[in-house]
Amino acid sequence: MAILVLGGAGYIGSHTVDRLVEKGDKAVVVDNLVTGHRQAVNKNAKFYQGDIADQEFMRHVFLENPDLDAVIHFAAFSLVAESMTNPLKYFDNNTAGLIKLLEVMNEVGVKKLVFSSTAATYGIPKEMPIKETDSQEPINPYGESKLMMEKIMHWSDLAYGIKFVALRYFNVAGAKPDGSIGEDHHPETHLLPIVLQVAAGSRDKLKIFGNDYETPDGTNVRDYVHPYDLADAHILAVDYLRAGHESTAFNLGSSKGFSNMEILKTAREVTGKAIPAEFAPRRPGDPDTLIAASDKAKTILGWNPQFDDIHKIIATAWKWHSTHPNGYEDGR
Ligand code: UDP
């Protein structure tokens, strides 16, 4: 048995491939390298460069690897702000891309799919922490494109028997503890990488978007989860489907909230750097607080996150950023 990892050269995908290889599992990786990095892919995984919407190419990948029985799908765009100005890019790549993928999976008879969904499918939550059964009313096209993916999966399960697990991530942060793989987006828009780029001297200062939110210190509160822990949840979700269980969705977060100011303060402690910062206007589409209830993943999947301390998470990210101030361009 082997697992096909789509988007395996991206941030979370590359950590998952690494974990699979470490466990001795066979991983086949597909990535179009539009945002992914070839150097991020563990050398013991088989790599194909191509697009998941290219059905001829995907048929070829499945035919060449007849032992594939499950797919983990990370190949999507994920920037809220970009989705607001270019929604069709998100509905085309994320939503229509899934349809193309499912057609081929159905054709070749591979009927297990674990895929990245998001806390952004919930929109503005009415209660905290957020449970899987809470209403899903996205407030941006990114969240909408992922909710549409969940719905397409539901009907494809009923019609074609393609079983799925949708994993709704909260905020992902951190890197492989040895600092050899990590987060590298162009342009970078996420809080922790930006904070640590300022610490590493490759950026002048941090702008904190909004300090008048309904939170204890006025800055947004988010729930941070390490890519290793996410990777393990994906692998457990494949086991869950292989055991013949029903399709479902799980939240993945630490169930603890940290404000943007708390992240900055902790990063100053971890790095020992000043990290200049200033307040700036709110960013459109940011809910006040997002914290996950993750009991379902713990109970049903047996998920046991190891990086349960924000200091530890930031320390792993710093190991990556301090040794790769220009990301993978450093060629190390
Ligand atoms: N944020 C910020 N300055 C930045 C980048 C992000 O203040 O340069 C804030 C953002 O407004 C949000 C939090 O950091 O409150 C997390 O944002 P990020 O883009 O990392 O993740 P998202 O929550 O959008 O998935």
The string of pLDDT tens digits covering residues 166-177 is: 999 999 999 999
pTM (2 d.p.): 0.96
Indicate which residue of 11, 90, 142, 169 is catalytic. Answer: 142
Distance CA 290, CA 256 (A): 9
Distance CA 313, CA 145 (A): 29
- Residue 26 pLDDT exceeds 60: yes
| Phi–psi pair at 312, nearest 5 degrees | -65, -45
The string of pLDDT tens digits covering residues 251-298 is: 999 999 999 999 999 999 999 999 999 999 999 878 899 999 999 999
Alpha-helical segments (H) within the chain: 11-23, 55-64, 80-85, 87-90, 97-108, 141-160, 191-200, 227-242, 260-271, 295-296, 310-323
What are the structure tokens assigned to 138, written together?
Answer: 């996205």
Q: For ligand 1, atom 1, name the residue with the nearest CA.
A: 191
Distance CA 161, CA 22 (A): 31
Closest atom, ligand 1, to C-alpha of 194: 8
First to last CA, the chain: 32
Q: Which residues line ligand 1 (CB under 6 A)?
A: 80, 171, 189-191, 194, 207-209, 220, 222, 260, 283, 286
Distance CA 30, CA 101 (A): 12
Say if CB 183 and CB 10 are below 8 A apart.
no
Tokens 């499918």 found at:
121
